[in-house]
Amino acid sequence: MRFWWALAMLCACAQPDPVRTETTATSSASASTDDADARATLAFAVEGRSARSITKQDLMQRIPVETLTVHDPYYNRKKTFRAVPLKRVLELGFVGEKLDLAKQHFVLRAIDGYTVPIEGKKLLETGAYLAVADRDAPDWEPIGPQQANPGPFYMVWRGEKQLDTTEYPRPWQLARIEISAFEKTFPHTVPARDDESAMRGFELFRSQCIRCHAINREGGRVGPDLNVPQNVVEYRPEPQIKSYIKNPLTFRYGNMPANPHLSEKDIGDLVAYLRSMSRLKHDPDGGKSASH
């Protein structure tokens, strides 16, 4: 899932078993780790305004918890989770907002800086769940290249047609769900609209690369910013950038995956986008608040 940073470059990151409802009674175990997990919170916001914050314990008391066995593309095998339907989570988190959730634009933010812009109609699809516990391990089984703990909230999908992580993202360590228009949330990632190739590259960047990478300090924080203080096109030859995007493992071993699904035209458009943004830099604090 994570398209981890590399060279300060670019983007890039079984039919399910029946679901059965189970009781939501919490374990009687008194371990402090269990208590901390129950108190873990998921925040909700609307256009920068805090809407509410819900603890895992409260979430599990308000929404019937299901046992869900699915093929997980990150574990690359079947996994069993305790999970709640994401639609119910969104309804609870944004109760009282009087919004048609299907028509909203969302941003999902993880603890490690992974950032997913996504449309509400996708989040409301049948099959979207929020896992709250791993039934295969006493705690959560480590996930990803860094062997991270995916809890306390890990987004999973139930449908057999929902395995593509590009179309159906699976942020782990989910911490915040925001309703906010893309261009309001990431205003300095948009190129000049008269550059058709750059605009096509922008659409690819916003759908795939922004999850890990920022442009002008706006976007994901898992990988490096690609525009400030220097844009990657300012210090790497474009043929090298294109080859790197296609298959970074031919350059170095790292966490950024190959992108065989991108055509030469797609990659050319991404580079055109980067080139365009190199002329539209925005770095108001000069990197003073940078954390990666």
Task: Give the distance, in angstroms, between the CA of residue 115 and the centroid of all CA atoms in the same chain.
Answer: 4
Residue 232, pLDDT above cutoff 90: yes
Considering the chain, tell me which residue range(s) the CATH 3.90.420.10 domain(s) occupy.
Answer: 40-182
This prediction's pTM: 0.80
Tell me what pLDDT residue 288 has.
Answer: 67
Helix axes 264-277, 196-204, angle to 10 degrees: 100
Tell me what pLDDT residue 35 has.
Answer: 82
Q: What is the mean pLDDT of the chain?
A: 87
pLDDT digits (tens, 9 = 90+) for 117-173: 999 999 999 999 999 999 999 899 999 878 999 999 999 999 999 999 989 999 999
User: Does CATH number 3.40.190.10 belong to domain 186-277?
Assistant: no
CATH of 40-182, one of 3.90.420.10, 3.30.70.360, 3.90.1150.10, 3.50.50.60: 3.90.420.10
Do you find a cis peptide bond into 152, omega within 30 degrees of 0? yes
Measured at the CA of 147, the angle between CA 117 and CA 163, to 5 degrees, comes to 45
Q: DSSP string covering 142-173, please?
A: PBTTTTB---S-EEEE-STT---TTTS---SS
Query: What type of residue is 57?
Result: Q
pLDDT digits (tens, 9 = 90+) for 96-111: 999 999 999 999 999 9
SS3 of residue 48 by DSSP: coil
* pLDDT > 90: percent of the chain: 73
Q: DSSP string covering 201-237, please?
A: HHHHIIIIITTT-EETTEE-SSS--SSSSS-GGGTS-
Most confident of 64-73, 206-215, 276-285: 64-73
pLDDT digits (tens, 9 = 90+) for 200-217: 999 999 999 999 899 999
Tell me what pLDDT residue 287 has.
Answer: 66
* Interacting residues of 36 by C-beta distance below 8 A, sequence separation 6+: none
Considering the chain, tell me which residue range(s) the CATH 1.10.760.10 domain(s) occupy.
Answer: 186-277
Tell me what pLDDT residue 30 has.
Answer: 43
Confidence at 247, pLDDT banded by 50, 70, 90:
very high
